[in-house]
């Protein structure tokens, strides 16, 4: 291809990095694609790196060695995180969202790409140093959010099912006790979906007492794998005894009062 | 914020456009964020636009008028589409993927962000001119793909459930006949998840005779909404009479032969 100007190379490099979070891309790749010397690409990269940091768009890391190159770690400023959390809190506190049983209807939010992609960047930013192999979720509402977290971490998503499917091949199933209702439920995962000895994080839309998270932990044990973190959009803080301790949440839900007002607030880490 | 150089502004603009496909972003927004005159941003935008087109990364469109600005329509070259289709075909033809009942295990592929995001760009590119209001899918394997298509189209995702959930509020349920098994199944959708008079496309991982798609069409009728397109990663071409006619697919699956070989190929539009 024809030689590009520095401006164009920088636009192209930014586009490629943004689209490939947490994946190492070699200088050779850029050099061939953009028909430019590696030294030129290095100079371009300094500008992209500086811009990302100045704009609070995350970091571009240089990885040395034979498998080296650069990788882009997306992030946003703490102010933007707070602003986002406040916006979602406002959306979710709408009284018309209360459905019978005092549940909050949040399905539309969990399937809104602009919200999910932002929440994905925020939750992922807590796990960059955890050396995560898989992001695990349970069907269905949390799937897009968990997918975005997996994408930002550059790893595979694994979705635990509520029932066996013929297309999954051999599966491992466990029973677990839902922390809030006390009911026994089932979850299953295809035998081939996870390598032994993996480090996993669990991502979901909403967490009450943490029965599902506890179930996931037990299920991962069956794969000789470990749960190293939990991230949710909303956690319920009124659910009494917690079955799992540490978790990251963006919002805290307390209760719905007698007038149907939703008591919800930004989690302490963002306020 | 301090003034940025043209190089830095171009990197920042590219990052923001890439992250917000099909959303109109005003020149004012860029002008304020980057502390630069609108005329300067316009000049930057010409460079970003040219680069995107030269690199086959899609288009940057200028929208005139009061609500005007620019929007980015992601795409990739036809050669990259073909290359991608060939790679996925190779991955899926692995004999070890055949599970009892001659189904192909493709769950890992449908939850792999690098694959799903590429397939999402490809499928979305067929629907940019359809004025789509919602992307509809059915739980669970197709959710990340449908999410990516929705993100690229800049619209909301809607996920049809196999069973009612207490967190959904009032739902509309229909029964439908699975085209390949002939079994009667149920699908349901929250009453508030869709506005009347909407144009929808259905995205899924795999399509046999199209019973599910037919069910979605009927379900959308209950919402006085219309199915204007169908896109799947893999369609089965051996399933006999098709219940729905037009669909876009990336791969065609024929059958598994007696030796366990998977007959699969790239769909005609990409070969």
Q: What is the pLDDT of residues A145-161, one digit of tens each?
A: 999 999 999 999 999 99
pLDDT at A94: 97
Distance CA A211, CA A174 (A): 13
So what's the ipTM on this one? 0.96
Percent of chain B with pLDDT over 90: 83
* Mean pLDDT, range B115-122, rounded to an integer: 97
User: Is the predicted pLDDT of residue A244 greater than 80, yes or no?
Assistant: no
Cα B126 from chain centroid (whole Å): 9
Report the pLDDT value the prediction gives residue A68, as an integer from 0 to 100: 82
B191/A contact by beta carbon, under 8 A: no
- Per-residue confidence (pLDDT) for residue A163, from 0 to 100: 82
Q: How far, in Å, CA of B184 to CA of B177, rounded?
A: 5
Nearest to B10 among A7, A141, A168 (CB): A7
What are the φ/ψ torsions at residue B221 (nearest 5 degrees)? -60, -40
For residue B138, the tally of other CB atoms under 10 A from its CB is 25
Which residues have a Cβ under 8 Å from the Cβ of B16 and sit 6 or more positions away? B25, B30, B33
Q: How many CB pairs under 8 A join A and B?
A: 180
Is pLDDT at A215 greater than 90 in this prediction? yes
pLDDT, one tens digit per residue, over B206-245 is: 998 899 999 999 999 999 999 999 999 999 998 666 777 6
Which SS3 state, helix, strand or coil, does residue A38 take? helix
The answer to whether residue A79 neighbours chain B at the CB level (below 8 Å) is: no
More confident residue, B6 or B166: B6
Q: Is residue A195 predicted with pLDDT exceeding 90? A: yes
Give the pTM.
Answer: 0.96
**A40 prior amide bond cis, ω within 30:** no
**Which residues, listed in sequence order, are joined to residue A262 by a DSSP beta bridge?**
A256
The string of pLDDT tens digits covering residues A62-85 is 999 887 899 999 999 999 999 999
Cα–Cα nearest to A234, from A132, A97, A58: A97
Q: What pLDDT was estimated at residue B183?
A: 85
Mean pLDDT, residues B21-29: 96
pLDDT cut 70: percent of chain B above it: 97
Cβ–Cβ contacts within 10 Å for residue B44, how many? 24
Mean pLDDT (whole number) for B98-123 = 95
- A113 and B154 in contact by Cβ < 8 A? yes
> Mean of the pLDDT values across residues B53-67?
93
pLDDT at residue number B239: 65
Q: Is A184 on the interface with B (CB under 8 A)?
A: no
Mean pLDDT over A229-241 rounds to 87
Reply yes or no on whether the pLDDT at A170 is more than 80: yes
Name the maximum alpha-carbon separation found in chain A: 68
Give the nearest partner residue to B156 out of A111, A117, A167, using CB atoms: A111
For residue A125 the two structure tokens come to: 């930013």
Sorting pLDDT into bands at 50, 70 and 90, what band is A27?
very high
Q: Does A53 touch chain B (CB under 8 A)?
A: no
Task: Give A98-132 as a DSSP string.
Answer: EETTTEE--HHHHT-HHHHHHHHHHHHTTSGGG--
Q: Do A11 and B8 touch (CB under 8 A)?
A: no
How far apart are the two ends of chain A, measured CA to CA in Å? 50
Buried b (16+ CB within 10 A) or exposed e, A137-172: bbbbbbbbbbbbbbbbbbbbbbbbbeeeeebbbebe
Q: Which of residues 163-182 of A touch B (CB under 8 A)?
A: 166-169
Average pLDDT of chain A to the nearest whole number: 94
| Amino acid A179: pLDDT | 67
Question: Which residues on A lie below 8 Å from B190 (Cβ)?
Answer: 105, 107
| pLDDT above 80 for A181 | no
Pairwise CB contact (< 8 Å): B167 & A7: no
Percent of chain A with pLDDT over 90: 83
């Amino acid at each position: 291809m024809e030689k590009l100007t520095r401006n164009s190379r920088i636009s192209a490099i930014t586009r490629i990095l943004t689209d490939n979070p947490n994946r190492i891309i070699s200088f050779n790749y850029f050099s061939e694609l953009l028909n430019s010397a590696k030294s030129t690409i290095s100079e371009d990269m300094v500008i992209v790196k500086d811009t990302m940091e100045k704009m609070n768009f995350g970091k571009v890391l240089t990885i040395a060695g034979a498998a080296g190159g650069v990788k882009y770690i997306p992030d946003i400023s703490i102010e933007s995180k707070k602003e986002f959390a406040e916006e979602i809190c406002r959306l979710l506190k709408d009284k018309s969202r209360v459905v019978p049983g005092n549940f909050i209807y949040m399905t539309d939010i969990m399937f809104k790409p602009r919200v999910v992609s932002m929440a994905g960047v925020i939750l992922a930013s807590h796990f960059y140093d955890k050396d995560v192999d898989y992001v695990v979720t349970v069907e269905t509402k949390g799937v897009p959010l968990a997918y975005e977290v997996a994408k930002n971490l550059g790893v595979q998503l694994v979705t635990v099912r509520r029932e066996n499917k013929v297309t999954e091949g051999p599966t491992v199933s466990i029973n677990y006790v839902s922390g809030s209702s006390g009911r026994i439920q089932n979850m299953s995962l295809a035998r081939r979906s996870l390598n032994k000895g993996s480090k996993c994080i669990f991502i979901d839309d909403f967490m009450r007492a943490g029965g599902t998270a506890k179930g996931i932990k037990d299920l991962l044990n069956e794969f000789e794998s470990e749960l190293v973190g939990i991230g949710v959009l909303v956690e319920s803080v009124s659910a009494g005894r917690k079955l799992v301790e540490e978790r990251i949440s963006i919002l805290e839900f307390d209760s719905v009062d007698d007038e149907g007002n939703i008591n919800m607030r930004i989690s302490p880490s963002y306020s």
